[in-house]
Chain A
Amino acid sequence: EAGVAQSPRYKIIEKRQSVAFWCNPISGHATLYWYQQILGQGPKLLIQFQNNGVVDDSQLPKDRFSAERLKGVDSTLKIQPAKLEDSAVYLCASSPYGTASTDTQYFGPGTRLTVL
């Protein structure tokens, strides 16, 4: 079974530029998550989708971050404009079912963003 795919793996941009990340979850997984992992910290949830609806986006900085999951499959996370503090690894994860707390989340390799 193929895992969670993310691209690009690395991205370097200058502040105030825009950037987009793509995630393709495991086939058939209903729930998709985007996490931000700043160096030296644990991942922090940005947004959670169930199918193509948003379950939780309370930690998403909506003035600059946006995400969509059209057709309930793959997803895009965008930052516009980027700030220095957005430098982090952006992790995508998926889980098979709905929002059951026992669901295992399967993580992709992440996209490492450096903002100069």
Chain B
Amino acid sequence: AQSVTQLGSHVSVSEGALVLLRCNYSSSVPPYLFWYVQYPNQGLQLLLKYTSAATLVKGINGFEAEFKKSETSFHLTKPSAHMSDAAEYFCAVTQSSGANNLFFGTGTRLTVIP
């Protein structure tokens, strides 16, 4: 079975500061991992995904994430926060074989302080 845990339901950072959103996964088979962003009243948009090609994954809007098998983590980072980054962020996992159901974490709401 697959699952993800997102530490911190709310994260606040100052504009220009480092953004770090944490995600740990549990999977009995090699996982594929995803980060999605959800702006108010909108659907989810893919930021980036890890599919075993490279452990450091770069996504849209300056975000990146590093797959660390030893720590079972896939934390999302951005060097400098913008006001437009304020949104809810979801980590998700699926298995590398068989059904491709996405299992989502509970989300982290990012607030950017001017």
Contact = CB atoms under 8 A, between A and B. Distances in A.
B32 A43 contact: no
Interface in B1-48: 9, 32, 36, 41-46
Query: Which interface class (under 10, 10 to 19, 20 to 34, 35 or more) fits B?
Result: 20 to 34
B28 to A, nearest CB: 14
| Chain A facing B: main interface SS | loop
A51 interface: no
Contacts, number: 58
Contact of B90 (A42, A93, A104): A42
Contacts of B49: 102, 104
Interface residues of A, number: 25
B104 interface: yes
Given A4-B43, A99-B100, A103-B100, A43 B90 contact: yes
Contacts of B41: 109
B92 A100 contact: no
A56 B51 CA distance: 22
Contact of A42 (B32, B99, B106): B106
B111 interface: no
Given A91-B44, A107-B44, A102 B92 contact: no
Contact of A45 (B32, B43, B45, B102): B102
Interface of A: 3-4, 40-45, 48, 55-56, 91, 93, 99-110
Q: State the 7 A-B residue pairs at the shortest beta-carbon distance, nearest first.
A: A42-B104, A107-B43, A101-B100, A107-B44, A102-B51, A109-B43, A101-B94
Interface of B: 9, 32, 36, 41-46, 49, 51, 90, 92, 94-102, 104-107
